[in-house]
Structure 1
Amino acid sequence: MLSLTRIKPFGIAFAFAVMCAAGWVWALNGDFGACVTGSTDKSLQNTVAALDSTIDLGIKLAIALIGAGGALLFGLKAGVTMSINGKVSLLFAILLLGQSVLAGIFWKMQVAEDWLNKCLNLVQEDVMQRLFLASFYFFLAGLATLVFMMSATILASSQGRTPS
């Protein structure tokens, strides 16, 4: 017979996997429009440049947070102890931030393909907007998980008990 302590971590991991899979299914099932080749106006080029720099910033921040979280998770800093719930929360945050990076890279690859094919108008299509938003939402979910973990740790330590 399975005990509740065995089901709970599995259930949390399963819910996390379902949430991430649903996010990817949503992001990758947008519609593509027709490629309109030719010269693109300056405003579209400026918009793509601004969105590209936003994705680039998100990728850099997410990678930095992944590195810091990985260092904490693997115990590279002596004297820092974390409960199992803190480690699981940190792992989930790292995975969410990693998915943000992956969605951002997919978006950048698609933009590069649009530039190569001289079809920059495809940036306005549903699938491109969904990839951009998936990168943004995964990043926000990773940050929210980190904030939740830190808040629980601070609250538990202010009450004089070990966070569990």
Structure 2
Amino acid sequence: MTQYNPLPLTFERLWQFSLQHYGVREIKEACLVLQNRHKGKVNLVLLLKWLDEHELSLSEQQWEQLDNAIERTETLLQQFRDYRRKAKPHLPDTLYRESLQFELQLERQQQSDLVHCINHLALSSRTSQPMTHLYCQKLGAPHLSAIFYKIEN
């Protein structure tokens, strides 16, 4: 198995990649279904899509390292997201928009944590299923993986 890292991934590169792909309706919907019904992590699946496009893969140990790298921000994101949803009917629009901006800052921090972690890993060339497919399977949502392929190819 060949070990290599593509050019170091920068936060800005992953953020732009994520905005581009999350802006595609089918990808956004699949990400939200993974998040809301299967406890998936949107930023992780977007990073996995980036790996897929570069034909890279992670070992189980590396997958764990990524999970650990975002554990703190994931907990904060889940708690804040739950709070924001409950508070939405009681908040003025301006305050609700501010809460969305704060959530976006947490998302950016999580992507920064992912970039920092991935740049310290020796990535392998993909030899089997794409990472997004494996993640969807792991979450019990294999039907969603086709959405990531369709957009990818």
TM bin (shorter chain):
0.3 to 0.5
Q: Which has the higher contact order (CA 8 A, sep 6+)?
A: 2
The alignment's TM-score, normalised by the length of structure 2, stands at 0.38
Query: TM-score, normalised on structure 1?
Result: 0.36
More helix by share: 1
